[in-house]
Structure 1
């Protein structure tokens, strides 16, 4: 736009100069016709007259022309006279130089102001859009992590009719649809497991009444496995419903782990690196520890090692390790990994352990030991650490003394 304005101003000034030169030429022609005197530095049959003006004068027409030179342009005006003579006037276009410089200065200042204002506005709008997108990404990540109460549109702040708001509405609609579907699947699973619970219990009771023998043992074993499966499915359904609440109490982890491991997996080794107390639910913690030990014994190889390091409990075996899909996506029901992990199962043990860990506010992670460390699967449970009540009693007694 600045270039257009500059060129338009220059053309306008040149046209005004040509009109002025034409007026001066007419006055000079009248004076020459009246007294044969040349005024305004007019010349008769100037040899430097441009060829175009000669042709126009030969046609009997008055005309003006701009002759570009290395310096300032020259404004020409010519008119035919009787006797095949041509009267012409020329002068350099010098007057408007300062005006053009002033116009150029204003245009440059305007361009700089427009660029700065546009950049500031772009940064402001882009920054606001970027902040809303970051908030939307964080909210979507929380939804993906299982927080069903988060909605992206509420997280991005005030409602603005832009692409971010449309994206938030689409993500929220998808989250609502997925939540409804998951809730429907959970209810169906819970209903089926609940309906199976009564006949399976009757089947287990009837199996206990069978006469001793190998066939009876097989029937009782399969009936008990079916009962365990139904109970696990019910527990998974309750955990998926996010209605479970932990009954928290202070637990001394080293003593707790030693006793439970001695009962659940007598061959496992327990090592205490650092004593700690945890604010947790003992029943649920025992359930997690039992499932991790059972998974290590069923799918891994000995020795199974249990380490207590403060509020962190690690269970490690020396088998082939967890499959990549489990490390990448976490435990999933009815998925037992790949064939390299020997044994059988329904994939519910680690699913229940992860669900119980969420109820406790703990973090359950899975990893594989390196070949230099001997390989094997590592399950790490991080519990909320609590203050040592015995130390508090000592401090309180000292203060009283």
Structure 2
């Protein structure tokens, strides 16, 4: 049986409240409110006890004066009473026992009074002499004290709320800046999109604290990751370059072999090795940022159909089963390089055949290219981290989607992975629409004929 852990329970409860800033403010204000409440209760009890003692002492002193006057003159002063029925029984018994006793009682009209009683002997008969003092003034003092404490508590809570909000906003603002800068490291490990590290983004060093330590730790980790990543990329690029020359000779030598089953196996394996090396070189160029696209306006649907046709001509497996489905919206012209789009479509077809299940359905909806296969979909690891070299759903080297992402990025298109509702793997590319200024410069006649709408383009020609 697990032990009850208050810290864990309180921590879990606070995490459900909301953002860190709200939690900090809430904890501070609640703590101050509880402290003020406890102090207020303590002050109330102390003052109440002091007032009660004061009233009882005053009643005793006044009763002593009444007793002295009565003994000398036989007159009961200050409203003193003899054997008053309002005197409680226990107080009467205490007085008859020879004590000067006091008691505080509540009256029927919600008021309170203090009664002091003492014994007196008249004609050898003992009676109880008593007086009453109203506690109304004392009660009013306590009420004023309570109102003052409540007002001070509310005012203090408001001041603490403002101060806590100010202090926590400064802290959470720095944490948010650190989080943003750390997220930017995913685009460029070691530095953010603006070229600054996490420590530079939050301006560490002015007043060192735990956030500064966290920022420096993240920067140190990112720098080590960047160094390792660069070493891996250089190794892959160097390996591919070193293999390219002997592999070219190997391919040529294999082509000279006489036709036979062993020769065909050698040619097939050699060709697969050549494709792998070329893919590695292509990925290395993307990672080095050494690739530029020659973009031009084109209709996405026509460009995709052209790419599918080329894949069929090249004998890409399952290319004959690819279905291109037009969308419902009026397709705009997008910026694309046909050769690179051919490479994207070819790799999408190969990926579906190798790791998913044909047929591959390519839906063109506006600037979106949505490719969905009939397989089981992507595993969570690929959906979370995206495609990487040598990471795949099954056999192969995992370079196909990496090349698709690289070719899309070069053309300014976004790349996203998901799973279709029926379980198939889905790749979504969003291409940039062609700017109107470029269309006006390149094809003003077509725009004039279409009433200002974008003309249909395909491979650099227009109708």
Q: Same fold (TM over 0.5)?
A: yes
* Residue-by-residue CA offset, 1:27-54 (whole Å, 9 max, x unaligned): 4455556566654455678895633344
Q: 1:185, 1:364 → 2: CA distance?
A: 23
Rate the CA distance shift 1:84–1:285 in 2: closer, same or farther, 3 A. same
1:247 aligns with 2:288: no
Report the alpha carbon displacement of residue 110 of structure 1 after superposing the two structures with TM: 2.4
Which residue of structure 2 aligns with residue 68 of structure 1? 105
Greater shift in the superposed pair: 154-163 or 101-110: 154-163
Unaligned runs of 5+ in 1: 58-62, 339-343
Rate the CA distance shift 1:397–1:279 in 2: closer, same or farther, 3 A. closer
Match of 1:107 among 149, 153, 173: 149
Q: Give runs of aligned pairs for residues 164-243 of structure 1, distance below 5 A.
A: 167-241=214-288, 243=289
Contact 1:53 1:65 in 2 (8 A): no
Which residue of structure 1 aligns with residue 403 of structure 2? 352
The Cα RMSD (Å) is 4.2
Contact 1:246 1:280 in 2 (8 A): no
Report the alpha carbon displacement of residue 269 of structure 1 after superposing the two structures with TM: 5.5
- Which structure is larger by alpha-carbon Rg, 1 or 2? 1
Greater shift in the superposed pair: 110-119 or 269-278: 269-278
Match of 1:90 among 121, 125, 131: 131
Rate the CA distance shift 1:22–1:303 in 2: closer, same or farther, 3 A. closer
Report the alpha carbon displacement of residue 68 of structure 1 after superposing the two structures with TM: 2.4
Match of 2:335 among 279, 284, 287: 279
Contact 2:285 2:291 in 1 (8 A): no
Rate the CA distance shift 1:52–1:181 in 2: closer, same or farther, 3 A. farther
* Helix, strand or coil at the partner of 1:361: coil
Which residue of structure 2 aligns with residue 382 of structure 1? 430
Q: 1:204, 1:397 → 2: CA distance?
A: 49
Report the alpha carbon displacement of residue 250 of structure 1 after superposing the two structures with TM: 1.3
Report the alpha carbon displacement of residue 258 of structure 1 after superposing the two structures with TM: 4.3
Rate the CA distance shift 1:284–1:84 in 2: closer, same or farther, 3 A. farther
Q: 2:442, 2:101 → 1: CA distance?
A: 111
Contact 1:42 1:87 in 2 (8 A): no
Q: 2:66, 2:305 → 1: CA distance?
A: 122
Contact 2:310 2:342 in 1 (8 A): no
Unaligned runs of 5+ in 2: 1-38, 314-319, 449-463
1:18 aligns with 2:56: yes
Which residue of structure 2 aligns with residue 293 of structure 1? 349
Q: 2:96, 2:208 → 1: CA distance?
A: 68
Contact 1:311 1:383 in 2 (8 A): yes
Which residue of structure 2 aligns with residue 6 of structure 1? 44
* Residue-by-residue CA offset, 1:322-352 (whole Å, 9 max, x unaligned): 44344554333223314xxxxx532211111
Q: 2:158, 2:95 → 1: CA distance?
A: 49
Contact 1:246 1:281 in 2 (8 A): no
Q: Give runs of aligned pairs for residues 283-362 of structure 1, distance below 5 A.
A: 283-299=339-355, 304=360, 306-317=362-373, 319-320=374-375, 322-325=377-380, 326-327=382-383, 329-338=385-394, 345-362=396-413
Report the alpha carbon displacement of residue 226 of structure 1 after superposing the two structures with TM: 1.6
Greater shift in the superposed pair: 76-85 or 92-101: 76-85
* Residue-by-residue CA offset, 1:359-387 (whole Å, 9 max, x unaligned): 3321233455565xxx8654332211113
Which residue of structure 2 aligns with residue 341 of structure 1? none
* Helix, strand or coil at the partner of 1:149: coil
* Helix, strand or coil at the partner of 1:337: coil
Count of residues in correspondence between the two structures = 384
Q: 2:273, 2:383 → 1: CA distance?
A: 28
Q: 2:69, 2:359 → 1: CA distance?
A: 125
* Helix, strand or coil at the partner of 1:386: coil
Greater shift in the superposed pair: 119-128 or 345-354: 119-128
Q: Give runs of aligned pairs for residues 260-279 of structure 1, distance below 5 A.
A: 260-266=307-313, 267=320, 268=322, 276-279=332-335
Q: 1:7, 1:299 → 2: CA distance?
A: 77
Q: 2:98, 2:235 → 1: CA distance?
A: 100
